[in-house]
Structure 1
């Protein structure tokens, strides 16, 4: 896969793409826009490149991440990374997100495997390190479990449609989400609010749509900047795109 940084996708390499045998696959939290993590992933790539130059453990590492389902934003050059319209308008629950991430991981590994065979002729098994933030950490652990169950060499192997052979060699869980988040103070407040306003997500997304329709982008950015107390530029741009997206606000709630 070619290196690219867009509002919906992040892909870079620590050295030449053709030499990459390991992929760091990043799974975002909620809101699931990969744009919030661009600086972090860029710094991670620079650090790994520097470490690789000193140790020569890996010649090249691919760092990849993409937005979760329902959080894709419109790009100027493409229509939400060529996502089907029905997928963009769909609301994803946690199970849907897990399946989507698992599918994207296997699709990426399939592309990488084909690219490796075409450029170097190597058929070596590729390695993956899952990295998840917040709810992405839970998704990462679930993807790891399902990958092992789908592995033909596993004792608990089950029938699977995945044909790409790769190893998940590790996982990095950044600030995993609270197990019983509904029982937390904030969760209890939201639960109470939802009992009075059962269609809160729909109502909030409706008002967000009205707001983004009436306000020009510059005014919307100024409002977001005021509410978020002068955030970094990447967070400002990502939040503005998030508010203007088709169903991002409702998906987040």
Structure 2
């Protein structure tokens, strides 16, 4: 499943910009429907705030392995879970395939791309930037926006520490998913959806996505398999100044360093406060200005949870739209 919201081009030859969204885990794009549509409306309705000529397209798709109706990739058959490395490769491949879909410039590449990642999607975002900068690519990454990012030491977070203990059980992702599937098969879908809403207290739309996730062929296995990979892979800060930027960037650099904006939760159960604060101290811009080559790193002060897409989509969309407008101003 994907969400693809094109700009109203009216045959314009204006610059076209792609907002490419990368989900967290579980990687179902349906959780972000309200967020992405609100973001598109805000950007479409405020073009006079940045440039009357800028046209924004929004695209996101479920991560590999989470939904059966995704197009078959060239990597392999979807019969066992995808590793985090494979998910990154497939996300990069999808990004590079994106083209303007209508209007006078149909079929051309976008003038620039803004990546948005949530949770592990932020880690995927940084890896995509790193890989694009190491090769010759026509994909122009203008900026990256990282929401509630899990980019270092995820196993040290409260939830990471708990789930890491479960992964000490041999073959836990497959065994747990098989047991869950056996129980779910005994429950009618309508009753399961009611139970999901009752237990999680999710809004109806999110409960429907969760039900689809639970009843999918491989969703639970994929989520647990990928989570184990995250615990093993997302450890030390692995990126250099080619990603993080330097205070006095060399004007002769082969590529402009994309502007990065991090938005951390205040008490995020997937991000340990001490690892977050260490990253901010080491990598953040001192003046929090978009003109700096170093990232802007902010901490939420509104008690928004890690899974913002369940009940706080509109507020986060407003923040993201504001950052994008500033980037293009």
TM-score, scaled to structure 2: 0.61
SS in 2 for 1:88: coil
- Hey, what does 2:186 align to over in structure 1? 214
CA positional deviation for 1:88: 3.0
- Hey, what does 1:76 align to over in structure 2? none
- Hey, what does 1:238 align to over in structure 2? 209
- Hey, what does 1:126 align to over in structure 2? 111
Find the partner of 2:36 among 31, 35, 41.
41
- Hey, what does 1:173 align to over in structure 2? 146
CA positional deviation for 1:180: 1.1
- Hey, what does 2:6 align to over in structure 1? 13
Is the CA contact 1:72–1:248 (under 8 Å) kept in the aligned structure 2? yes
CA-to-partner distance for each residue in 1:78-121, whole Å, 9 max, x for gaps?
A: xx044369543331222111111100001124xx3xx56x8448
- Hey, what does 2:67 align to over in structure 1? 72
CA-to-partner distance for each residue in 1:195-237, whole Å, 9 max, x for gaps?
A: 2x222211221122223322211011011112202x1122111
TM-score, scaled to structure 1: 0.78
Is the CA contact 2:123–2:151 (under 8 Å) kept in the aligned structure 1? no
- Hey, what does 2:156 align to over in structure 1? 183
CA-to-partner distance for each residue in 1:45-73, whole Å, 9 max, x for gaps?
A: 11001111555444421100001111114
Stretch deviating more after TM superposition (119-128 or 165-174) = 119-128
More helix by share: 1
CA-to-partner distance for each residue in 1:118-176, whole Å, 9 max, x for gaps?
A: 8448967621111101110111111011111112xxxxxxxxxxxx6231111111111
Residue pairs, 1:86-105, within 5 angstroms: 87-105=77-95
Gaps of 5+ in 1: 1-7, 74-79, 152-163
Is the CA contact 1:70–1:248 (under 8 Å) kept in the aligned structure 2? yes
Gaps of 5+ in 2: 225-329
Distance 1:18 1:143, change over 3 A: farther
Is the CA contact 1:17–1:60 (under 8 Å) kept in the aligned structure 2? no
CA positional deviation for 1:245: 1.0
How far apart in 2 are the matches of 1:218 and 1:225? 11
SS in 1 for 2:145: strand
Find the partner of 2:175 among 172, 197, 203.
203
Stretch deviating more after TM superposition (13-22 or 36-45) = 13-22
Kindly report the root-mean-square deviation, in angstroms, between the aligned alpha carbons of the 2 structures.
Answer: 2.5
Is the CA contact 1:27–1:65 (under 8 Å) kept in the aligned structure 2? yes
